[in-house]
Amino acid sequence: MELSKKVAREKDKPYYEQAKVSPTIYAWEVMVPYLPRWIRAAMSLFAILVIPVATTLFGDNWFLSFLLFIFSLPIAWLCYYVISADYHYQYRLTEYGIECSWYQKVPKIAYSIDKFFGFIAAPVCLIAIVVVGPLALVGAGGFALMALKGKPRTPGKTEDFIAIHSELKYLFFYDREYRRMFLIADPDFFTYGYYFYCGSFLDDLKKYILPYYNQYEYYEVDDDKEMLGHSRYIEAQKSARKIKANDPSIPEYY
């Protein structure tokens, strides 16, 4: 696992190495929607209807409309299940920090769907050459490539690590809207800022995580906008800016 910029600091690396071999204190998983369901459904419906409807209205070619309708089905499927697929977050708490990983949960059947539509639509496009003309060769070639040259989709996993620095003071902000927890070090505001999703495990996470932080303040807010306007958030940000003004080399990771 390649460390991200956040954990590439020398101060965090020992914590990361220790966490890899430490026992799990608590583990949880959360599914986070990439887009609301109604937006995903609207995108898919638009993909199915817009091309054939436009062709019917302006071209009055029912065969071409049917052809484009067949073509729009895999596009609609891709919009709903692949492009806007939910994200799967996995967390593991150790005494040295929290291991985090996430990926977009694309159905394994995506590859099979691609091949199916490719085998069905490619010959349809070849037949359409007689009716529509040579332009249909483009569709035939595209679907043939989809059927014969496609590769299985394997979701790329992103990994990160949140080190537990017991010597630092932290502000915890729980965002009720997205059910996620923000961790901000005070006054190391720019260096140590993270968030993780809690899902339905908030009570357990408060029970298992908070005791590992010697100094912390916990707040609950309705959304991230309320957090940005919170007096303690603003105070921590101002303190960090004063420190950064004296030491411009301090990076801003958050």
Q: Please tell me whether residues 56 and 131 are part of one structural domain.
A: yes
Residue 129 lies in a domain: yes
Q: Please tell me whether residues 29 and 111 are part of one structural domain.
A: no
Residue 42 lies in a domain: yes
- The one-letter amino acid code at 59 reads G
CB 57 within 8 A of CB 40: no
Residue 253 lies in a domain: no
Q: In this prediction, what percent of the chain has a pLDDT beyond 70?
A: 56
Using only C-alpha atoms, the chain has a radius of gyration, in whole angstroms, of 25
List, in sequence order, every beta strand (DSSP E) within the chain: 26-32, 87-94, 97-104, 158-163, 169-175, 180-185, 193-197, 215-221
Q: How many domains does the chain have?
A: 2
What are 76-82's contacts with CB under 8 Å, separation 24+?
76/43, 76/44, 76/45, 76/47, 76/48, 77/44, 77/113, 78/110, 79/40, 79/43, 79/44, 79/47, 80/40, 80/41, 80/43, 80/44, 81/106, 81/107, 81/110, 82/106, 82/107, 82/110, 82/153
Residue 73: give the domain boundaries.
37-84+107-148
CB 159 within 8 A of CB 153: no
CB 47 within 8 A of CB 75: yes
Q: Please tell me whether residues 18 and 96 are part of one structural domain.
A: yes
Q: Please tell me whether residues 134 and 175 are part of one structural domain.
A: no
Instruction: List the CATH number of the domain containing 211.
Output: 2.30.29
Strand partners, 94: 97
Rounded to an integer, what distance in angstroms lies between the CA atom of residue 117 and that of residue 193?
45
Q: Please tell me whether residues 196 and 97 are part of one structural domain.
A: yes
Residue 252 lies in a domain: no
Q: Let me know how long the chain is.
A: 254
Per-residue confidence (pLDDT) for residue 202, from 0 to 100 = 95
- Tens digit of each residue's pLDDT (9 = 90 or more) over 96-131: 999 999 988 877 666 566 555 555 555 555 555 554
Q: Which residue has the higher pLDDT, 66 or 97?
A: 97
- Tens digit of each residue's pLDDT (9 = 90 or more) over 42-52: 777 776 666 66
Q: Please tell me whether residues 144 and 185 are part of one structural domain.
A: no
The end-to-end CA distance of the chain, in Å, is 21
- Beta-carbon contacts of 134 under 8 Å, excluding residues fewer than 6 positions away, are none
- Tens digit of each residue's pLDDT (9 = 90 or more) over 3-35: 444 444 567 888 888 999 999 999 999 998 877
Q: Please tell me whether residues 210 and 98 are part of one structural domain.
A: yes
Nearest Cα residue to 146 out of 177, 174, 115, 173: 115
CB 25 within 8 A of CB 208: yes
Would you place residue 2 in the very low, low, confident or very high pLDDT band (cuts 50, 70, 90)? very low
- Tens digit of each residue's pLDDT (9 = 90 or more) over 142-159: 444 444 444 445 557 888
Rounded to an integer, what distance in angstroms lies between the CA atom of residue 217 and that of residue 236?
12
Residue 251 lies in a domain: no
CB 167 within 8 A of CB 212: no
Residue 17 lies in a domain: yes
Residue 254 lies in a domain: no
Q: Please tell me whether residues 121 and 48 are part of one structural domain.
A: yes
Q: Please tell me whether residues 213 and 224 are part of one structural domain.
A: yes
Q: Please tell me whether residues 163 and 49 are part of one structural domain.
A: no
Q: Please tell me whether residues 63 and 127 are part of one structural domain.
A: yes
Strand partners, 169: 215
Per-residue confidence (pLDDT) for residue 90, from 0 to 100 = 95
Q: Please tell me whether residues 217 and 127 are part of one structural domain.
A: no
